[in-house]
Structure 1
Amino acid sequence: MPNDLADFVVVANRLPVDRITTDDGHMSWRSSPGGLVTALEPVLRAHHGAWVGWHGATDEVLDPFEHDGMHLVPVPLSEIEVAEYYEGFSNATLWPLYHDVVRPPEFHREWWDAYVQVNRRFAEQAAAVASEGAFVWVQDYQLQLVPQMLRELRSDLRIGFFLHIPFPPTELFGQLPWRREILEGLLGADLVGFQMPGAAQNFVRLVRQRVGHKTRRNLVDLPDGRIVKAEAYPISIDAAGFEALAHTPEIEARAAEIREQLGNPKTVLLGIDRLDYTKGLPQRLRAFGELLAEGRLSVEDAVFIQVATPSRE
């Protein structure tokens, strides 16, 4: 296979960059906000890997490009696909179903069809850029069919999947008309990762109940002899790096200034998110109000700060 193929490939709904227009009118890219980008950028740079994802514009085909030490591979999406695959099935079906909050999930056949079509495109792009025996790491609920599609295209690959949101119990997951297809899609991975142990247990239980495969604790035995492992790997930030940064004189001085500007509260609650309904910002505000109403926090001693960056969609 060509030498420019990657030994480590990240596959995610979005590339880790946003397009901007500079002061002189030229187009450029900057790193995106968000937990997924923060978590994966260092890993990608360390392994000189490739990142496959949508670049944020509709009906536009872009060639792969380099940014800040990363090789980025854009996946094109049409305006209809964004509406049906992303805003529809991903964020109006899967997200509320998996969280059981915010609003009821919606089920539409055309959304599902778009989800299948887009997942196949991501799988094909990943297969095209991965070297022989490469490790491919598929990310999150938007791409749950990619592992199996990718395995059908490239059986030589080592495939991992990580879900960054909860995975529901059978009582919730059973509402999804395409539940078996989702489970079989995830079983294309060698390792399926979750944030919490309960999510991994839900997945294994559903595979046993809905697909009929034999399971052993956190392992799934497939008919072809392959074994899929489901495990919890809570995602983290660079805690040591942030701790060291927090103890620098400049940061300590700035922190003291901010605390004084806020009235020197005993408790500071901070949220930093994209301005998107999936982040539950109104619910967060109401929860803060409940804490005040119940007397568990005091208006004299507590401050809630929410930083919301514009949604990329």
Structure 2
Amino acid sequence: MVKSAGARILVASNRGPVTYSVDETGALRSRRGGGGLVSGLSAIGDDAGAVWVCAALSDGDREAVRQGVAEPGSRMIAIAPDVFEAAYNGIANSVLWFVHHLLYQTPLEPVFDEDFRAQWASFEAYNTAFADALAEEAAEGAHVLVQDYHLSLVPALLRERRPDLRIGHFTHTPWAPPDYYRMLPDDVAAQVLEGILGADRAAFLTRRWADAFAACCVAVLGAELSEDGHAVTYRGRTTRLGVHGLGADPDFLRERAHRSDVADRIATLRAETGAERKLIVRVDRTELSKNIVRGLLAYRQLLDEHPEWRGRVVHVAFAYPSRQDLAVYREYTAEVGRVAEAINADYGTADWQPVLLKVDDDFARSLAAYRLADVALVNPIRDGMNLVAKEVPVVSDRGVALVLSREAGAFAELGDDAFVVNPYDIRATAAALHSALTLPASDRADRTKRLAAAATALPPARWFLDQLHALDD
């Protein structure tokens, strides 16, 4: 099926640019999201003939589909709720995410049984729905950018339907090394790789993740890797590999960080922490890979080993709930709260609360913490990139010292000017926090300038356009 009419540029992602809700009167209300894809599509202009294909995630989204309501330039796919749940939470978030972030407790998990096979069938159906929609919407020779691990099967499925298209796939997560990746059932491991290799180009946030993908293709499929490591050939087709390190959007961040609501949050935070105290700031979702608990334990170690910091520093920890429909995430969120409470109980005084933990999502408050931070703690077990590490230096008022895990994708760009840590090593992280807190002001200012320059080297609009233009090479 080749169409002469249709979209010339298409983006596919699980979440779209708009979400819908039904108000108390039964009317639909829409809310526009942000992020790199929204910025990228805006950058190409309204006359580009672009369409964004996404899933209907909520009851409001599904009602919008039923009524035929859609934002210009978007198509929302209504997938049966049970199929979506099995594909999204059962496979994408509980299997593929765990594999790529190396999160399994292997004595007990994973278990690939008949329940897994039923969920995998839903994942196939979910990806097929996207491939069908893209095939219907695309003009002849159109460029299609498929986003992330949720849609890893789409490129090959779309290639079968529309061999005329130029297809790119971008993975926003890390990629597991072959030994860990091969925990997946052999046929599933092969199917995921073959799915992405249906693209003309497969791109990643860092060269490390691209190399890991290539190594899996060689180990699992017996594919051939080019001499420079930048292309994989399998069954007569060659897929080029690319790297695009998504950066922060400096214009948006600096403007947004100086609005009145952020100023109000700064005043509130200073009242809560004390005007003269140094602040160690982290802003994360309570995602298992973010390593919030070990960060708290490292802060506790700092207070043990350097009692001179007691009463002089506060750990501002914003841990926003994530994936609370999964029991393991609810348990982790609760553990974050327990550890923070224990530190406050053991070390706190009448006029000093060592940990200020906030679990309600508030973007203005996050920006306020960015501006005030003396130290930013970003210590994930494993992260595709981690934009927090890039955003804090951009908006910092007085300069910030960055304590950064070597397992964050951002390490590739920011490591030279950060205090780099092994995310599992509590003592070493505590030592890095102490070094960061005692960094001379001039050194901190110089590091912050270099961090901000590296962090904004590929802002979202250019990141998107680079992927698009690379399909023409």
TM-score normalised according to structure 2 size: 0.57
Distance 1:282 1:215 in 2: 32
- Deviation, 1:234, is 1.7
Distance 1:234 1:228 in 2: 19
Per-residue CA deviation, residues 146-201 of structure 1 (Å, 9 max, x unaligned), is: 00111111111111111111110011111111111111101011111112221110
Match of 1:188 among 187, 190, 198: 198
Q: 1:252 to 1:98 in 2, by over 3 A?
A: closer
Is 1:202 matched with 2:212? yes
Match of 2:223 among 213, 216, 219: 213
Partner of 1:14: 15
298-307 or 117-126: which moved more? Answer: 298-307
Letter in 1 for 2:248: I
Distance 1:312 1:130 in 2: 36
Partner of 2:244: 233
Distance 1:73 1:116 in 2: 20
Is 1:179 matched with 2:202? no
- Deviation, 1:79, is 2.5
Kept in 1, the 8 Å contact 2:200–2:238? The answer is yes
Match of 1:156 among 158, 164, 168: 164
Q: 1:238 to 1:99 in 2, by over 3 A?
A: same
RMSD over aligned Cα, in angstroms? 2.9
Q: 1:259 to 1:83 in 2, by over 3 A?
A: closer
Kept in 2, the 8 Å contact 1:134–1:158? The answer is yes
Partner of 1:167: 175
Q: 1:310 to 1:113 in 2, by over 3 A?
A: closer
1:65-84 matches, within 5 Å, as: 65-67=69-71, 70-84=72-86
Kept in 2, the 8 Å contact 1:9–1:126? The answer is yes
Distance 1:282 1:191 in 2: 29
Structure 1 residue ranges, 4+ long, deviating more than 6 angstroms after superposition: none
Letter in 1 for 2:301: A
Partner of 2:469: none
- Corresponding residue pairs, total: 300
Partner of 1:288: 296
Q: 1:153 to 1:10 in 2, by over 3 A?
A: same
- Deviation, 1:203, is 0.9
Partner of 1:112: 120
TM-score normalised according to structure 1 size: 0.84
1:35-74 matches, within 5 Å, as: 37-47=34-44, 48=46, 49-57=50-58, 61-62=65-66, 65-67=69-71, 70-74=72-76
- Return the index of the structure with the highest Cα Rg: 2
- Deviation, 1:285, is 3.9
Is 1:301 matched with 2:313? yes
Partner of 2:131: 123
264-273 or 182-191: which moved more? Answer: 264-273
Other structure's SS at 2:73 match: strand
Distance 1:310 1:64 in 2: 30
Per-residue CA deviation, residues 19-60 of structure 1 (Å, 9 max, x unaligned), is: 22346541111124xxxx511002123334211111113676
Distance 1:242 1:52 in 2: 27
Distance 1:282 1:236 in 2: 19
Partner of 1:242: 253
93-102 or 124-133: which moved more? Answer: 93-102
Letter in 2 for 1:53: C
- Deviation, 1:272, is 4.8
Q: 1:307 to 1:133 in 2, by over 3 A?
A: same
- Deviation, 1:119, is 0.7
Letter in 2 for 1:182: V
Distance 1:227 1:155 in 2: 14
Q: 1:287 to 1:256 in 2, by over 3 A?
A: closer
Letter in 2 for 1:132: E
Distance 1:213 1:257 in 2: 57
- Deviation, 1:66, is 4.1
Distance 1:182 1:294 in 2: 43
Partner of 2:89: 87
Per-residue CA deviation, residues 73-100 of structure 1 (Å, 9 max, x unaligned), is: 1112113212321111111111111111
- Deviation, 1:12, is 1.0
Kept in 2, the 8 Å contact 1:145–1:185? The answer is yes
Gaps of 5+ in 2: 326-473
Gaps of 5+ in 1: none
Letter in 2 for 1:236: G
146-155 or 303-312: which moved more? Answer: 303-312
Other structure's SS at 2:14 match: strand
22-31 or 297-306: which moved more? Answer: 297-306
